[in-house]
Structure 1
Amino acid sequence: MTVPPRRLTSVDTTLQDPLVGQVLDGRYRVDARIAVGGMATVYRALDTRLDRVLALKVMHPTLAADGSFVERFIREAKSVARLDHPNVVQVFDQGADGSYVYLAMEYVAGCTLRDVLRERGALQPRAALDILEPVLAALGAAHRAGFVHRDMKPENVLIGDDGRVKVADFGLVRSVDTVTSTTGAVLGTVAYLAPEQIEHGAADPRVDVYACGVVLHEMLTGAKPHHGDSPAQVLYRHLNEDVPPPSAAVPGLSVELDDLVASATARNPELRPADAVALLGQVLQARGALTDEQLDAVPPGAVAAEHDNAEDRTSVIPRLLPPHPVGEDREAVLNRTSRLHTPPPEPSRRSPRPRRGLLALILAVLVVFGVGTGVWYINSGQFTEVPPLLAKTEADARARLKQAGLEVKQVKHAYSDTVKRGTVISTDPAVGARIRSHDAVTLTLSDGPETVQVPDLKGYPLDQAQARLKKDGLVPGMVTQAFSEDVPKGSVIGTDPGAGTERHG
């Protein structure tokens, strides 16, 4: 008689998501939804064969119905899986289960750069460069291997609880020597697209360089360089306006940082560094020229403003075609997250007016000074946030809380199939929640998987043995028959696994 582990009923904490609680490909148990993007949804899942937590990226059904898109996705995912770099999120597997096309990837416990920017608004130059350098190292490895990411943005920069920076979502990656196969469309995120991506669908390493320049500008200023009432207007500005220097929004930033952004975001790709490795060289040179005071300068008004997620979604965007009047409702265009059908509005061929733009930026900075200072005082003076504690030991969690000016209210325990025994499963309030300084946090520690000992069933009649297993939280398995000289007919000779074996409850 075999005694397999007890079947656990998963709890669906994501309302109206049919995948949560399901097992894909007979292997990946979907536990929770992490994020939804323009092309795919990302879930936390458990690989039931290897007993490890991973991230499962499942393509949206509308894109999964496009056979050529799926074929390219799978082919290029296999290629990216060969990238072996400490700053690249590892790809473990890819496959399809019915209408679900998925990618199994390394799960990074932590947050994204977008989360950091929402929380802080703008970063000190040292912190911005500390993040940018490993990002460029990862992209440099991809570029030298012949791939382009094509969708670099803060959402795709993961920052682990241990401080490691990793680049994720190479789902749009393609070979440097290929051309766009989707007629009239380019894949990407409007706020970070290079002009040649919009106009020609071109994709060589310099489009990633451009996106990294935009991300650096956003880290230094807390805002994207180009804004508009619609994605089409943002695309138009990428084509016709230079990215403004960060010092225009944050007075006092060094000229070296302005030069870095200008070099990376040059509208003419011939004027940009050839790839991420070349840009990384410029970044290291610029860092060496900065003083500690310049690196650690705190940007004024470093408080996140209200953020519109629509521009951050990966979308299928029509390549620039001969212009025609915009005919769609503005709100409909803004709210669309997967396919944007409106080309940039018919451009006025007048040259940009930098003096007016500079004046607007200065006025914006003055507003940030007036409003941001009060918010900064309220946030910093009265409140703090629960620091990242998941997977920390109790001692480490207590130390982190003490460092944040918080106390431990209570320590609870719970079983977990995925979190190491003795480490934090959850906190109350949750990680990242705003909490008054000197308040207390409840920690829940893992006791590891719940286990049950297989009872000694030798000599039990079959029906009684099965009832005993169920009573102990185990599921009776297949029954086989064998001859025995000392056990009555119809009774149990032995079990597999044997009596006393620990099994997950």
Structure 2
Amino acid sequence: MSPLDHSHALSLIPAASLNTWYDPQLESFSGLSAAPAMKLADRVARGHEPVLGELLGDYELERLVGAGSMGQVFAARSRATGERVALKVLRPDHGRALLRLEQEFRALESVEHPNFVKPRELVMPAEGEAFFTMELIDGVPFVEYVRQQTRAGQLPNQLRLRRALRQLLAALEHLHQRGYVHRDLKPSNVLVTPSGRVVVLDLGLVCDADAGDPIERGLVGTPAYMAPEQARQGQTGPAADLYAVGVMLYECLCGAWPFMGAAQDILAAKVEDHAPDPALRTSQADADLLELCRTMLAGDPEQRGTASQALARLASPARLAPVRSFLRGRARADGRAGLSPWTSWTYPWGARSRALAALSWPALSWPACMRARARRQSGDPRRAPPTGDKGSGGATWVERDGPRPSRSDRRAWPRRHTRAGRR
């Protein structure tokens, strides 16, 4: 609706929850956000906080990686082994910090998966700071990896998007099968390494899919990626994680969030309105990606399906039929011409540049040329001189190593005999 009427929507979101949980600098409710170390230094909470160079157990803190309303993450080095790890410590003034810290570590242990950060060690000393260590990920946020240098209003590389999205959905499928809900999925909590590995981080707000969260009550998460049921503070299930992935997919395709504005405006719009159709901003995107984005951004959690269903839709042969027809040279529904069959093997490069497809043919024909050259040098020419009069139109077989072969022999050993005649 435009202009947005917040009167009813905001009545569903208690103001006390907004004031208690929301940090306008972090754009997050009780979540961990990655940010440059110099900016994060200004956000350190009151009381005792770890400082760079300090020793926590056997680990020396090297640099600040991320911070939020619940805690901080440092890059640290083990003095015993020299291994560099990520070390997470919760703020001492955060209520039930030890319970939250232990719950996150146990969740990481139980959801062991290639697309989740690997936990290392949980340290809870009798005196001093409790913390746990995990794999230190060198990567960039999900949306930044997908879009890279793509300009606003243009589509990113959709093959790169598909590869990353499949890994993210596989991680969510595994998490939900273990009975957990992440509740704070966003690009800064999903990093992609230079090798293309997608890694889900920060299970600080993870909760049981059936029992809910016994530790934290109220509004938790990041407004831009919250599902409508999270904004209403209702029961949060696996569908809420799919909604967050839908927002990330929308952001990858369109370069913007589906709902813009301040946190309270975004939450009110999600409660009262439907997410905009991504095709309105990027109609040239693949049809299956657009449909998947619409499905995951559905206001009704039941209509979003599951992570397993999203994975199946992403790789569904039926949804790839328009692409295959395009490769076969058939006309598309929007009137654009398809690729000719000789360029289909080069998709998507052929779709982007037919010149590149044409230049790739010498690479395919080179082995055949080399074999022909070797035959000529070995004295095994393909043709023998014709036996009939020139122009007679006759065609006879010239025997080389024996009598004229049968039809099956000619198919099996074409190099032993050659057909001569019309040139």
Same fold (TM over 0.5): yes
**Structure 1 letter corresponding to 2:271:** L
The answer to whether 1:221 aligns with 2:254 is: yes
Change (3 A) 1:107 1:182: closer
Instruction: Check the 8 A contact 1:30/1:46 in 2, yes or no.
Output: yes
Q: 1:76-155 to 2 correspondence within 5 Å?
A: 76-96=104-124, 100-116=129-145, 117=147, 119-120=149-150, 123-155=156-188
Change (3 A) 1:110 1:293: farther
Change (3 A) 1:79 1:253: closer
Q: After TM superposition, give the deviation of residue 183 of structure 1 in Å.
A: 7.1
Q: 2:307 maps to what in 1?
A: 276
Percent identity for Structure 1 against Structure 2: 30
Higher strand fraction: Structure 1 or Structure 2? 1
Change (3 A) 1:99 1:132: farther
- From 240, 259, 274, the equivalent of 1:242 is 274
Cα distance in 1 for partners of 2:324, 2:134 equals 38
Cα distance in 2 for partners of 1:258, 1:181 equals 37
Q: Residue by residue, what CA displacement relative to the aligned partner does 1:307-340 show, whole Å, maximum 9, x if unpaired?
A: xxxxxxxxxxxxxxxxxxxxxxxxxxxxxxxxxx
Cα distance in 2 for partners of 1:272, 1:183 equals 26
Q: 1:347-386 to 2 correspondence within 5 Å?
A: none
Instruction: Check the 8 A contact 1:217/1:224 in 2, yes or no.
Output: yes
Instruction: Check the 8 A contact 1:254/1:294 in 2, yes or no.
Output: no
Q: 1:350 maps to what in 2?
A: none
Structure with greater Cα Rg: 2
Q: 1:324-363 to 2 correspondence within 5 Å?
A: none
Q: Secondary structure at the match of 2:110?
A: coil
Q: 1:253 maps to what in 2?
A: 285
Q: 1:382 maps to what in 2?
A: none
The answer to whether 1:27 aligns with 2:58 is: yes
**Structure 2 letter corresponding to 1:267:** G
Q: 2:398 maps to what in 1?
A: none
Instruction: Check the 8 A contact 1:73/1:172 in 2, yes or no.
Output: no
Q: After TM superposition, give the deviation of residue 184 of structure 1 in Å.
A: 5.6
The answer to whether 1:49 aligns with 2:50 is: no
Q: Residue by residue, what CA displacement relative to the aligned partner does 1:7-27 show, whole Å, maximum 9, x if unpaired?
A: xxxxxx967885210111x21
Could you tell me the TM-score, scaled by structure 1's length? 0.51
Cα distance in 1 for partners of 2:215, 2:112 equals 29
Q: Residue by residue, what CA displacement relative to the aligned partner does 1:355-394 show, whole Å, maximum 9, x if unpaired?
A: xxxxxxxxxxxxxxxxxxxxxxxxxxxxxxxxxxxxxxxx
Q: Which has the higher contact order (CA 8 A, sep 6+)?
A: 1
Could you tell me the TM-score, scaled by structure 2's length? 0.60
Instruction: Check the 8 A contact 1:45/1:53 in 2, yes or no.
Output: yes
**Structure 1 letter corresponding to 2:64:** R
Cα distance in 1 for partners of 2:159, 2:129 equals 42
Cα distance in 2 for partners of 1:123, 1:58 equals 36
- From 100, 104, 108, the equivalent of 1:72 is 100
Change (3 A) 1:294 1:252: farther
Cα distance in 2 for partners of 1:281, 1:272 equals 13
Change (3 A) 1:75 1:34: closer
Q: Residue by residue, what CA displacement relative to the aligned partner does 1:177-216 show, whole Å, maximum 9, x if unpaired?
A: 2224467612110011111112134221111111111111
Instruction: Check the 8 A contact 1:213/1:261 in 2, yes or no.
Output: yes
The answer to whether 1:170 aligns with 2:203 is: yes
Change (3 A) 1:185 1:99: farther
Q: After TM superposition, give the deviation of residue 50 of structure 1 in Å.
A: 3.3
Q: After TM superposition, give the deviation of residue 51 of structure 1 in Å.
A: 2.5
Q: After TM superposition, give the deviation of residue 238 of structure 1 in Å.
A: 1.3
Q: Secondary structure at the match of 1:72?
A: helix
**Structure 1 letter corresponding to 2:142:** L
Change (3 A) 1:50 1:82: farther
Cα distance in 2 for partners of 1:163, 1:125 equals 14
**Structure 1 letter corresponding to 2:121:** D
Query: Which sections of structure 1, spanning at least 5 residues, go unmatched?
Result: 1-12, 296-505
- State the aligned residue count: 277
Cα distance in 2 for partners of 1:158, 1:177 equals 28
Cα distance in 2 for partners of 1:293, 1:253 equals 16
Q: Residue by residue, what CA displacement relative to the aligned partner does 1:257-304 show, whole Å, maximum 9, x if unpaired?
A: 22111111111111111x322211112227734628999xxxxxxxxx
Instruction: Check the 8 A contact 1:247/1:254 in 2, yes or no.
Output: no
Q: Secondary structure at the match of 1:55?
A: strand
Alignment RMSD (CA, Å): 2.7
Q: Residue by residue, what CA displacement relative to the aligned partner does 1:127-171 show, whole Å, maximum 9, x if unpaired?
A: 222211101111111111111111111111111122211111112
**Structure 2 letter corresponding to 1:270:** E
Change (3 A) 1:49 1:187: farther
Q: After TM superposition, give the deviation of residue 99 of structure 1 in Å.
A: 6.4
**Structure 2 letter corresponding to 1:89:** V
Cα distance in 2 for partners of 1:123, 1:101 equals 42
Q: After TM superposition, give the deviation of residue 76 of structure 1 in Å.
A: 4.0
The answer to whether 1:264 aligns with 2:296 is: yes
- From 172, 192, 196, the equivalent of 2:229 is 196
